[in-house]
Structure 1
């Protein structure tokens, strides 16, 4: 069964599915419960009855809607690239930059990794995403998928967290406030175009219904026989495709391949806990130099002043800009540290089978951790904008410090850690293994332990 509700969250209907059904079955990606999708009308969404994870969200004219948003966003991006972004004037020195200068300046300042990361997250990956959406939905409107639509559709599901145009907008606003104290700043047409582009990109991602898209691309084969909705998929040696959602039965060796999109399938993400621990340790090691070394150095009339992450927060507080100081402190200190501790706590407690209410709390914590990690890039974007805009030699210039690379690594590694953690482990029951094939028991990421109640 699955619950259908309106956009305002009020319950619309509950659909019970006979045990023998083999159509429109889904294994929840977050709790692994096997459910049957109800018929949805535009404006309704189907949610998992156990963890409330959204399984499908139907829109009115989904192909036309996504196509319109994607084309508009791509036009706004082209305008943002083609016009001046920000200009400033101070002490008789003026400078204007374009959007691409934010990454090019980092490369010329011997920070190629950070420069490439900025370019990928605000231009390259979003542009590929928008072109992919346009390509796919043009084929869907013609009822004839265009070449390589399956591979492109598979790639879409992996790009979402790495597109950070909205984060860049916040970073640009913080940069403007910082520069306003030392120079006169003018916003170019590119700045406003980029703001429109960031909004349209967000609307494009929210307009995609992957369940409808894959059904329109390749239909939906029947689920394996003997499926029992309302029970965990793993207990039935079943798994849901992480890309298209199709339910498949694993082979005797616990492996398989989705017959609709070709995605490799496993019982659980291999070595999920081990990979998460390794990435958390690496992020912790990178976070130390990210705070000890300066993230940028400001030169004014030949006097250089290095600034660390915490030092930048204190400067904003000293100038009375406590809202900006709070944003930087939250994004650069609270979020990275909180994310490391939250994922570490989940890795520890995932072996302890608590009551259902504690599983819901852990699931909520994981969702928050996965959502906020990308916002730590604000500080990196601030540095990218400042060093590209303010460079007038010894008179007035800003250069990146060694902490910029270390902090960028922290952001990327913590995001990879959140992606490597398999949230289905939170919901795995103590009595799951007796229902599994022997080959799958050997692949379980942990062995059965005593069930305890903890918060």
Structure 2
């Protein structure tokens, strides 16, 4: 399926984008979760989550979180509102082609739904040891996530491009499709994959978070956390973390390495199958960020001094690097080379 026409898609995109922006703003000033351990309370809001990571000297993790769950999704919805308003008025939006390109460039880096799933996993993990109350921000962010998913359901790049072309007429400037340079693409993808493999080692050897209970530290690696959840009877959560944090990164590294090798060897076979495999790999890769968001939420939620506290471990940054580098590797890989196997590098 390359394109699908949906009735009143522009109106629905505009309506749900405006609603999503309202819910996104509403999720900022209120509490997201409230942690209650035997009368000791700790309220967590999303801005507090960011500041807590900064206080723990994990600035890059804080920046990554605020970009992935607020800035990027917000920019996507703002850009779609801008285009939809002009399209409904049957006017070509100034810099419309650039705005459309920016929206689809940012789409893979929007992780609002992943963050919300991570929040649900954190809720399940902490319910066995404390009482968790959901705040207004939690429900606002839930509605924002639903609006964002609905917008993406009605968003079709081909249909949007067609509408802009019809409105722009001679003003539309389409980017020239530059033939891919196999040599440079292969080298860049290999470099990103190599860096991902290097970071994947400390991401699994070092603790991703450390829990302090009554002054006693209990570091947990990614695999150790999965084992703990499984032994505690949280089988669905253990399976989700295992698939997202261990199975998907390894599978993505292997698949991208094989696809890149097939391009390097000019392999002509299995083109359709390789293209589908690449699209699946590119889509599921960002879901590995669930474990990182779980750590960020727990660090912000559980800060009760020596009684109980959660701190991020060095593996959190290493694993974030693995996810980001594999996403960059997937973006740098040019799927057109699967079909242009006889094209030289000139």
Structure having the larger proportion of residues in helix: 2
Where do residues 179-198 of structure 1 align in structure 2 (5 Å cutoff)? 179-198=126-145
Instruction: Return the match for 1:296 from 184, 196, 209.
Output: 209
Counterpart Cα distance in 1 of 2:87 and 2:181:
32
Match of 2:81 in 1: 134
Per-residue CA deviations over 1:72-103 (Å, capped at 9, x if unaligned) read: 11122122223211001103310111122222
Match of 1:307 among 217, 220, 229: 220
The match for 2:60 among 113, 116, 123 is: 113
- Structure 1 unaligned spans of 5+: 1-46, 48-53, 223-258, 434-440, 444-455
Provide Cα deviations, 1:378-405, integer angstroms capped at 9, x if missing partner.
0000001000010111111001111111
Deviation at 1:368, TM superposition (A): 1.4
Change (3 A) 1:77 1:63: same
Q: 1:345 to 1:151 in 2, by over 3 A?
A: same
Q: How far is the alpha carbon of 1:62 from its aligned partner?
A: 2.3
2:232 is aligned to 319
TM-score by length of 1: 0.72
Q: Which residue of 2 aligns with 1:361?
A: 273
Instruction: Compute the displacement of 1:195 (Å).
Output: 1.5
Aligned to 2:197: 284
Alpha-carbon offset, residue 182 of structure 1: 1.6
Match of 1:304, SS?
strand
On the 8 A contact 2:92/2:168 being kept in 1, the answer is no
User: 2:304 aligned to 388, 392, 404, which one?
Assistant: 392
Q: Do the aligned residues in 2 keep the contact of 1:269 with 1:420 (CA within 8 Å)?
A: no
2:47 aligned residue: 100
Give the whole-Å Cα distance in 2 for the aligned partners of 1:191 and 1:298. 24
CA distance in 1, matches of 2:338, 2:100: 29
| Conservation of the 8 A alpha-carbon contact between 2:43 and 2:301 | yes
Structure-2 residue corresponding to 1:337: 250
Change (3 A) 1:367 1:442: closer
State how far apart, in whole Å, the 2-side matches of 1:376 and 1:276 are. Answer: 19
CA distance in 2, matches of 1:67, 1:60: 13
Any gaps of 5 or more consecutive residues in structure 2?
none
Residue 109 of structure 2 corresponds to residue 162 of structure 1: yes
Displaced runs of 4 or more, over 6 A: none
1:19-418 aligned at under 5 Å gives the runs: 47=1, 54=2, 56-219=3-166, 260-261=172-173, 263=175, 265-268=177-180, 271-350=184-263, 351-355=265-269, 358-418=270-330
Of Structure 1 and Structure 2, which has the larger fraction of its residues in strand? 1
Helix, strand or coil: the match of 1:299? strand
Q: RMSD of the alignment, in Å?
A: 2.0
- Equivalences, count: 344
Higher relative contact order by CA 8 Å / sep ≥ 6: 1 or 2?
2
1:428 alignment counterpart: 340
Q: Distance in 2 between matches of 1:141 and 1:402?
A: 49
Q: State the distance in 2 between where 1:332 and 1:209 align.
A: 30
The CA deviation string for residues 217-258 of structure 1, in whole angstroms up to 9 with x for no partner, is 233999xxxxxxxxxxxxxxxxxxxxxxxxxxxxxxxxxxxx
With over 3 angstroms needed to count, the CA separation of the structure-2 counterparts of 1:318 and 1:216, relative to structure 1, is: same
Deviation at 1:365, TM superposition (A): 1.3
* Worse-superposed segment, 420-429 or 265-274: 265-274
Q: Which segment is superposed worse, 56-65 or 371-380?
A: 56-65
Using the TM superposition, give the Cα deviation of residue 269 of structure 1 relative to its aligned residue in structure 2, in angstroms: 5.4
State the Cα distance separating 1:123 from its structure 2 match: 0.6
Question: 3-state DSSP class of the match of 1:398?
Answer: strand
